[in-house]
Structure formats: structure tokens, C-alpha cells
Amino acid sequence: MKASSMRLIRLLTAGLAAVGLAVSLAAISAAGAPRNALIVQALAAGLATGLALLVGWFWRRARWRLWVLMAACGLALVLTLMNGVSLEGAKRWVALGPVQLHTASIVLPFAAFAFARGFGDRRVAPIAALIALLLLYQHDAASSLAWALALAAAALVERPRQAIPWACVAIAGLLAYGAWVEPDTLPAVPYVEGLLDQTFAANPVLGVLAGVLMISLPAPFLLVARARPERRAEALALAALWTGWIAGNLFGNYPAPVLGYGAAPILAWGLSLGLVLGDSVDQDPPAP
């Protein structure tokens, strides 16, 4: 029953991804994106598909030290703050040739996975709090909110007896609030941050469809959480992460995840799907 449920979820996710790509290309074109942006978007979708398959096959067959994985995610954010691309005081991106990738989009799915699995390791929660602080310094309120929601969802599912994870959730929430009350000076790009408004103005039907699809991005994780109880904490943490990124776009000047132009969110969605849609492996993370 579980195997058939997962097959159905994978099929529904593949359909959502295919429709999402078509609508994304139409929406960013209607919002004024140049032709090269459409090419980058399509290439990112192809790469995200490969990453989802690779992660789904390989991830659960590797034995991860979860605190090391969390530390690697934090280190990536530190390096971005030190050497990343700066725009209006915000340092959220790393340059890979002509492409700028939003670091938090790539690392937070892995970090949310590690936090949801790592309540038995006392080193995981303090690193999660450090990641929340780094996101504040990156001036990334959307990712700060997404991270706080992911930590809260994982903690509510697992209900750890230790006080440290709950303190970490509270710290992340306070830091997310601090990030949101800080003024955002970055200008909006119509086919990135202002996608839904611009698309709706150009074509109301397309704008509504883009909005519905964007809000549907957490759906695969919610379905996995229902179908596979052993993955509930991880799946709901990722659903909450994507809910936060969506809220960042709806209530602030932040990119429309996956539907708006940008390679990093598409890659992040592929990575997130790979983490929860892969076949189960009867192997727990190594003890600390």
C-alpha cells in the first residue's frame, strides 16, 4: 500500500512539475523576461529533475553525520557573507560564472532534513540557531521565516524532551521577526519578485494559474507526510520551509519560488523532492 501510494505521489509530483514549468515560462515571458531567462529557467528545470532522481537514489544509502551536514550548510552561508555577491547591502548569492545562485535555497532543504532527523544529537540544534542568525545577517527575511517554520514543524512532530531544540525554534522565530521588521532596499524585478502581479495584469487567467501552482508547491511533502509516517518530520519540515518562501513572496519583496525566474529555487525544489520521494532504506543515521 505504501509503495503504491508513493508511486502515485511521484506521478502527481511529476505532473505538477511539468505544468509548473510550462506556466512559469509563460508567466515570466508575460512579465517581461528576456529570452535568455527562459532558456535558464528550462535548463534549471532539467537539472532539478536530475538532482531529484540522484538525491532520491543516493541520499538514504549514505550514512550522514547530521551535525556535520548542518555545519556544512552553515559554512556555506558564512562563505556567502564573506565572498558572495552584494546587492543593496544584502549578501545572499554566490556567483557561478554568469549565474548567481541564492545560497539559502540550496542549503536549507538539507539543513531542514538534518534538523528533523537529528534530535538525538545535541549538536544539531545550536547549529540550527546559528543558521537562523546567518540568515538575518544576509538580510533574507523570506528565508528567515521559512527556516523558523521548518524548525517549528519538525519540533512539533517529534516533540523532543530536551529544551534546546525548543529554544532553537524560539530563537529562529525571534530572528525571523527581526528580519521582517528591517527595511528591504532591494528593487523588485517584475518577472522575479513581482511575478504574480505582472502576470495577472498581462493575462488574468495565467496570473491566477501561476498563483495556484505556487501555493501548491508544498503539496507533495504533505502527501508524503500522510503516506509515510516514518518520514513525517522531514516531509512536514520541508513543507513548512516552502510555505515560508511562498509567504515571503506574497507578503514581501521576495522571489516567487519556482514559478518566478531564478535557477536556485527550482534546484531547491528538486533537491527537496529527492529527499522525501526516494525509496526507503532501513538505515538510521550514525550515533553521535
Taking 60 as the threshold, does the pLDDT of residue 193 lie above it?
yes
Query: pLDDT band at 283, cuts 50/70/90?
Result: very low
pLDDT tens-digit readout, 138-156: 989 999 999 999 999 999 9
Dist. CA 119–CA 233, nearest whole Å = 11
Residue 121 DSSP one-character state: -
256's CB contacts (< 8 A; 6+ apart) are 192, 193, 195, 196, 210, 214, 249
Count Cβ atoms below 10 Å from residue 276 Cβ, excluding itself.
Answer: 28
Q: What's the predicted TM-score (pTM) here?
A: 0.93
pLDDT at 266: 96
List pLDDT tens digits, range 229-282.
888 999 999 999 999 999 999 998 899 999 999 999 999 999 999 999 876 544
27-60: pLDDT as tens digits: 999 988 899 999 999 999 999 999 998 888 876 6
CB 49 within 8 A of CB 18: no
**Strand, coil or helix: what is 96?**
strand
Mean predicted confidence (pLDDT) in 12-24: 95
pLDDT of residue 62: 60
Asked if residues 118 and 280 have their Cβ atoms less than 8 Å apart, the reply is: no
* Residue-wise pLDDT tens digits, 55-90: 888 766 666 688 898 999 999 999 999 988 877 777
The percentage of residues in the chain with a pLDDT greater than 70, rounded to a whole number, is 93
264 touches 101 (CB < 8 A): yes
DSSP state of 280: P
- Higher-pLDDT residue of 193 and 111 is 111
Query: SS3 for 65?
Result: coil
Q: How far apart are CA 102 and CA 113, in angstroms?
A: 19
Under the banding of pLDDT at 50, 70 and 90, the label for residue 287 is very low
Q: Please report the pLDDT score of residue 238 as a whole number.
A: 97
Q: Within its chain, how far is the Cα of 39 from the centroid?
A: 22
What pLDDT, on the 0 to 100 scale, is given for residue 118? 85
Where do we find the cell 523558523?
A: 148
Concatenating the DSSP letter of every residue in 229-242 gives GGGHHHHHHHHHHH
| Cα distances (angstroms) measured from residue 197 to each of 29, 97, 119, 247, 256 | 13, 31, 41, 15, 11
